[in-house]
Every structure is written in C-alpha cells, then in structure tokens.
Amino acid sequence: LNVMSKGVIWVHTVESVALGDAVRAFVADDSSNTSGADQGRFGKAAEGGKTVLIGGARWLSETTEAGLALLELDIPASTFTAD
C-alpha cells in the first residue's frame, strides 16, 4: 500500500485550477453532477456533502480544464473542512 503524507504529487482535477485556488478533495462520488467527479479526485469548487477543503495544500501548476495538476500536500499540518 503506497501512502503519501507530505510532498508533491500529480492529481486528477475535475475542473480548471489556478495558482492560489482552494484545494478540495471529493470524499463522495459526484459524477452525476460533474463529469469525472469521482471519489478521490480534486478540484477547487465546493460541493456540499461531497468535498472537503484541504487547508495548507496548494496548486503548483494550472489547468484550463479537467486534467492533471501538480499538488503540494502536507497532511500532518493540513486542516480538513467539510463543505
């Protein structure tokens, strides 16, 4: 089992993201409302009951649509707030 707790990783985004945007993770499937919004994917927009805001995480690259983006995480120092 590979688990990352701190570092930089490529992640799938469900929408465009830019430097400085909020980082959210889908903790529940929302693909019926947003294409590709499967559990475990990332984005910037809040989806009530489906996403959590990851405080302390930041985007290191930008996308103009859904795709791959570089994300910096420090799980032990992060905060998680349900949307």
pLDDT tens digits for range 58-79: 999 999 999 999 999 999 999 9
Task: Give the Cα separation of 64 and 79 in Å (integer).
Answer: 27
pTM of the model: 0.89
| CA atoms of 28 and 8, how far apart (whole Å) | 23
Q: Which residues pair with 50 in a beta bridge?
A: none
The pLDDT tens digits for 27-41 are 988 777 766 677 889
Q: How far apart are CA 33 and CA 26, in angstroms?
A: 13
